[in-house]
Amino acid sequence: MLTTIEVEIDRDGRIRPVEPLGQLPAGRARLTLLARPADETALLAEAALAEDWLKPEEDDAWANLQPDR
């Protein structure tokens, strides 16, 4: 039977279960590394900033830095 547990890996590479467990049996296991969650603050700000970024005035303001304009 397969059992999946959530773990955290510290900076030294030590693996610790997120939730307390009983003793795990000796043996082998596979570890799947998950992508780090994106910075939530940046994700929340993106929509608000996009309103300004997508205005034609912004394109005009940065036109001198765009080689094809």
Average pLDDT for 16-21: 88
pTM over 0.75: no
DSSP per residue, the chain? ------EEE-TT--EEESS---PPPSS-----PPPPPP-HHHHHHHHHHHHHHTSHHHHHHTGGG-TT-
Alpha carbon 42 to chain centroid, angstroms: 11
Per-residue pLDDT, 69? 55
Average pLDDT for 34-44: 77
CA 8 to CA 11: how far, in whole Å?
Answer: 10
Query: Residue ranges per domain, the chain?
Result: 7-65
User: 16, 30 in Cβ contact below 8 A?
Assistant: no
Average pLDDT for 53-63: 87
